[in-house]
């Protein structure tokens, strides 16, 4: 029995259980609340420099919950939004500034050892993606995106452009490929963060 699964797979199970009319947002918030309350467990690779899977604390998930209506007593920076942004499809939980976790997966039974692949060991982003442990295929063709990034760097005498310009060029490329469903900004930014932090002289 598989003992780890992606966040998106956990969300899809909640939707199937509650009925296909269950909003995706509600299913995701339910899972985040269960992580925060200790009823579910997750692990991920910490950013900016982690290489091993680590348990994700309930405290982090508390910061990912959407705040209750403002009482006026909380600090201004906590009003109206979660401190941690979770992207279930990308498997990331990120704070402003790039700290957080990537390759997040739910641990179905913490007492049972990991039965999936080893976490990524190499520092380069193209080698950090864990092998697919089975189940549904990846939602996006990240290999094609990485190839496009290499192509952009190859044709430019200055190498890669600054991060925002590269993101725009990738969006244009995905549109040209006919991708109506594209990775979210948070997923793209997490991938580019891994890339740019490994460049010796990043453009931004």
Four-residue CA torsion sign, 126, 31, 136, 119: positive
pLDDT band at 70 (very low <50, low <70, confident <90, very high): low
Q: Which single residue is written with the structure tokens 């948070």?
A: 186
Lowest-confidence region among 34-38, 85-89, 109-113, 175-179: 109-113
**pLDDT, tens digit, 9 for 90 and up, residues 151-197:** 888 877 777 888 888 899 999 999 998 998 899 888 888 888 888 88
The span from the CA of 171 to the CA of 138, in Å, is: 19
**DSSP, residue by residue, 56-97:** PPHHHHHHHSPPPSP-S-S-GGGTTS-SSEEETTTTEEE-TT
**pLDDT, tens digit, 9 for 90 and up, residues 122-146:** 444 444 444 555 554 567 888 889 8
pLDDT band at 112 (very low <50, low <70, confident <90, very high): low
* Cα–Cα distances in angstroms (integers) from residue 181 to residues 8, 53, 85, 86, 164, in the given order: 15, 29, 20, 18, 20
| Predicted local distance difference test score (pLDDT) of residue 34 | 93
| Its pTM surpasses 0.75 | no
- Residue 132: how many CB atoms within 10 A of its CB? 12
């Amino acid at each position: 029995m598989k003992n780890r699964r992606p966040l998106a797979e956990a969300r899809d199970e909640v939707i199937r259980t509650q009925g296909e009319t269950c909003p995706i947002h509600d299913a995701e918030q339910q899972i985040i609340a269960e992580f925060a309350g200790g009823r579910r467990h997750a692990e991920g690779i910490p950013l900016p420099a982690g290489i091993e899977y680590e348990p994700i604390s309930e405290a982090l998930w508390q910061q990912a919950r959407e705040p209750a209506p403002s009482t006026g007593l909380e600090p201004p920076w906590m009003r109206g939004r979660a401190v941690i942004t979770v992207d279930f499809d990308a498997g990331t939980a990120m704070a402003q500034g790039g700290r957080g976790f990537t390759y997040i997966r739910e641990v179905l039974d913490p007492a049972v050892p990991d039965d999936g692949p080893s976490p990524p060991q190499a520092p380069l982003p193209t080698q950090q993606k864990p092998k697919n442990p089975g189940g549904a295929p990846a939602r996006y063709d990240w290999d094609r995106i990485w190839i496009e990034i290499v192509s952009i760097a190859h044709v430019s005498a200055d190498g890669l452009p600054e991060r925002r310009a590269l993101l725009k060029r990738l969006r244009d490329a995905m549109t040209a490929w006919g991708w109506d469903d594209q990775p979210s900004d948070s997923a793209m930014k997490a991938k580019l963060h891994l890339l740019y932090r490994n460049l010796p002289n990043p453009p931004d």
